[in-house]
């Protein structure tokens, strides 16, 4: 009886894990995402804020790279003019 109980417990853990994976997949499915958003399971605004932060970081790095490219081009012109 104890062996059967241990076996059932293992099966329940596996089943709960698979159920959790399926629910996470449904949260991101276009057909069901609205349902989960309305229930508060999926905070879309939080992800949007993170994405905006990442976009800002990328834009800042692009500006930095542009400035460095400009500096390198100026240095290159100076080297060419010296020769």
In this structure, is the dihedral angle defined by the CA atoms of residues 57, 63, 68 and 69, taken in order, positive or negative?
positive
| Residue 26 pLDDT grade (very low, low, confident, very high; cuts 50, 70, 90) | confident
User: CA–CA separation, 76 vs 72, rounded Å?
Assistant: 6
Give the total number of structural domains in the chain. Answer: 2
User: Of 31, 32, 34, 54, nearest to 44 (Cα)?
Assistant: 34
pLDDT value at residue 47: 67
What residue numbers bound the domain in which 62 lies? 43-83
pLDDT value at residue 41: 65
**The pTM of the whole model exceeds 0.75:** no
State residue 29 phi and psi, 5-degree precision. -75, 135
Same domain, residue pair 36 and 62 = no
Same domain, residue pair 36 and 47 = no
Same domain, residue pair 51 and 30 = no
Same domain, residue pair 26 and 11 = yes
Q: Which structure tokens are listed for 19?
A: 């159920």
Model confidence over 42-66: pLDDT tens digits? 665 666 777 788 888 998 999 899 8
User: CA–CA separation, 26 vs 75, rounded Å?
Assistant: 55
Same domain, residue pair 23 and 38 = yes
Q: What percent of the chain has pLDDT over 90?
A: 5
């Amino acid at each position: 009886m104890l062996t059967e109980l241990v076996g059932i417990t293992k099966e329940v853990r596996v089943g709960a894990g698979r159920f959790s994976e399926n629910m996470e997949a449904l949260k991101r499915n276009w057909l069901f995402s609205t349902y989960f958003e309305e229930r508060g399971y999926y905070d879309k605004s939080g992800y949007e804020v993170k994405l905006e932060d990442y976009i800002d970081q990328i834009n800042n790095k692009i500006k930095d790279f542009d400035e460095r490219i400009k500096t390198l081009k100026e240095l290159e012109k100076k080297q060419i003019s010296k020769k």
